[in-house]
Amino acid sequence: MTHNTFRFIIILAVISIVGIVITQLYWVRRAFDLKEKQFNQAVHIGLQDVAQQIASYNKHSLPSANVVNKISSDYYIVHINSVIDANVLEHYLKNEFIKHQVEADFEYGIYDCNTDKMVYGNYLSTSNKTLDNRMMKSELPKWDTFTYYFVVHFPHLTTDLASDMEIWVFSSMILLIVILFFSYTLFAIFKQKRLAEIQKDFINNMTHEFKTPISTIAISADVLGNPQIIQYPERLANYVSIIKNENNRLKNQVERVLQLAKLEKKELELKKEQFDLHLFIKEATASFALKIKEGKLENKTGELVYYLHATHALIDADKVHLTNLVYNLLDNSTKYCDEAPHIEITTQNQGNYILLSFKDNGIGIEKKYQKRIFEKFFRVPTGNLHDVKGFGLGLNYVKSVVEAHKWKISLESRVGEGCKFDLWIPKVLETKENS
């Protein structure tokens, strides 16, 4: 799938999801409005009937206009120019609302027209489909001296109406599931595509890395195949050493790929033992220190210096994996360095941990890539600036070793100022034999 096709598919997918969501919202809104309209009509007719019934109960006539006034969809005022008996009003309200299927909790209040103050109010619930007031009927007061109007309010109208729209809630839920599923599929495609790109890069890189030593060996073999070479023992020795070196390089590459294959299968298996970190560091890096001093690494002459200040340096770790880890970090510090490499290895005690740091004066890593450098196959894109070979596996291996030991690693870096990798290793207080 080309990049443009992929982008086109993503854009289409997003447009269709947004379209479906807008359509659904539109229809839910319309259904709600329709419900509200039906509800208002039912309430209106019901209240009109209640007013009529109270008027005939009081043997009075209703005002000529505006008996039922809708203030908002959940608030109504009903004018009755006659005495309102709270008992009678409640009875009629209940009957009419049940008759017109007004299924929502409501409260009513009887007002004094002269003072606009509520003189009586009550709340009625429809939760069990039968209207059930909270007050005992015998407690309902009766007024017959003033002229009143009453109001009806539906405090939970929105939720009451929404709870009546099960089919819409259900279809919205289904839509949500479809959208989640769809988004997950897009995410999976996206991830697969990235993985495919990374793997393609890896294979290109690997082919390139293998091609160079193979062709060097082939050329050297051609030279050695010439019978005249016997007469030049120096050249002969030179070509043999080239073949040896290139063979070693190939061996290392194969080793790295095998290491990766092992890592893919399962977590690292550790053979832990207790040892002094300082002694270990000195031993593990001795040959590296010598080579860098003599300029035998990447043709760069540099130095490796130690500031081993931790007073307590006993740790519990797998020596083989730790050696590889140290070597990978030192290797990178030399590879990604434009000047004479100056590498510092520092230790210090920090609480229960030993902080082991590797600091270099290399090219550094941009902030936006710092989180990703531990990802498998990830290499900082450099365009054509630095032609440094690699598979993007070294730091991933470092991270696996750190995780297998349950240690922590962090990176501090600025472009042009080098990198500092910090490793927090728990210190061991006593050797097992002593404990």
What backbone torsions phi and psi does residue 129 show, to the nearest 5 degrees? 65, -5
| Per-residue tokens: 268 | 């690292």
391 interacts with ligand ADP by CB under 6 A = yes
Q: Report in angstroms how near the CB of residue 322 gets to ligand ADP at its nearest.
A: 16
Pick the closer one to ligand ADP by CB: 68 or 330. 330
288 interacts with ligand ADP by CB under 6 A = no
154 by DSSP, 3-state: which? Answer: coil
Alpha-carbon torsion, ordered 174, 175, 179, 181, to 10 deg: 20
Burial of 423 (0-12, 13-18, 19+ CB in 10 A): buried
- Binding region for ligand ADP (CB under 6 A) out of 37-45, 75-83, 111-119, 388-396: 388-396
Pick the closer one to ligand ADP by CB: 16 or 252. 252
278 by DSSP, 3-state: which? Answer: helix
Given a contact cutoff of 8 angstroms between Cβ atoms, the answer to whether 73 and 40 are in contact is yes
Q: Give alpha helix (H) positions in 336-427.
A: 367-370, 394-405
Q: Report in angstroms how near the CB of residue 13 gets to ligand ADP at its nearest.
A: 33
Pick the closer one to ligand ADP by CB: 390 or 426. 390
- CA 121, CA 138: separation in Å to the nearest integer? 15
Interface of this chain with ligand ADP, residues 182 to 201, rule: CB under 6 A: none
Q: In what side-by-side order are the strands of the sheet with 303-308?
A: 303-308, 342-350, 353-359, 418-426, 408-414
- CA 39, CA 105: separation in Å to the nearest integer? 13
Q: Name residue 25's amino acid.
A: L
- Binding region for ligand ADP (CB under 6 A) out of 131-139, 314-322, 373-381, 424-432: 373-381
Site string for ligand ADP, 308-347 (x = CB under 6 A): --------------------x---xx--x-----------
How many residues interact with ligand ADP (rule CB under 6 A)? 21
393 interacts with ligand ADP by CB under 6 A = yes
Given a contact cutoff of 8 angstroms between Cβ atoms, the answer to whether 92 and 55 are in contact is no
Pick the closer one to ligand ADP by CB: 285 or 396. 396
409 interacts with ligand ADP by CB under 6 A = no
- CA 161, CA 226: separation in Å to the nearest integer? 96
Interface of this chain with ligand ADP, residues 410 to 429, rule: CB under 6 A: 419
Q: Report in angstroms how near the CB of residue 325 gets to ligand ADP at its nearest.
A: 11
Pick the closer one to ligand ADP by CB: 126 or 370. 370
The DSSP letter of residue 336 is T
Pick the closer one to ligand ADP by CB: 324 or 333. 333
Pick the closer one to ligand ADP by CB: 120 or 358. 358
Q: Report in angstroms how near the CB of residue 224 gets to ligand ADP at its nearest.
A: 32
Q: Report in angstroms how near the CB of residue 228 gets to ligand ADP at its nearest.
A: 41
- CA 413, CA 392: separation in Å to the nearest integer? 18
Options 380, 401, 409, 428; binder of ligand ADP; rule CB under 6 A: 380
Closest CA to 306 of 233, 357, 382, 232: 357
Pick the closer one to ligand ADP by CB: 33 or 338. 338
Q: Report in angstroms how near the CB of residue 388 gets to ligand ADP at its nearest.
A: 7
Given a contact cutoff of 8 angstroms between Cβ atoms, the answer to whether 393 and 259 are in contact is yes
- Binding region for ligand ADP (CB under 6 A) out of 8-16, 31-39, 386-394, 423-431: 386-394
The DSSP letter of residue 163 is T
302 interacts with ligand ADP by CB under 6 A = no
Closest residue to ligand ADP, based on beta-carbon distance: 390
Options 76, 392, 405, 427; binder of ligand ADP; rule CB under 6 A: 392
* DSSP helix, strand, coil percent of the chain (3-state; round to 5): 50, 20, 30
Options 46, 213, 341, 394; binder of ligand ADP; rule CB under 6 A: 394
| Per-residue tokens: 13 | 């997918």
- Binding region for ligand ADP (CB under 6 A) out of 27-35, 77-85, 296-304, 387-395: 387-395
- CA 129, CA 349: separation in Å to the nearest integer? 72
Pick the closer one to ligand ADP by CB: 124 or 365. 365
Options 50, 325, 354, 373; binder of ligand ADP; rule CB under 6 A: 373
| N- to C-terminal Cα separation, the chain | 61
363 interacts with ligand ADP by CB under 6 A = yes
- CA 345, CA 332: separation in Å to the nearest integer? 14
What Rg, from alpha-carbon coordinates, does the chain have? 42
- CA 275, CA 254: separation in Å to the nearest integer? 30
395 interacts with ligand ADP by CB under 6 A = yes
Residues making contact with ligand ADP (CB under 6 A):
328, 332-333, 336, 360, 362-365, 373, 378-380, 390-396, 419
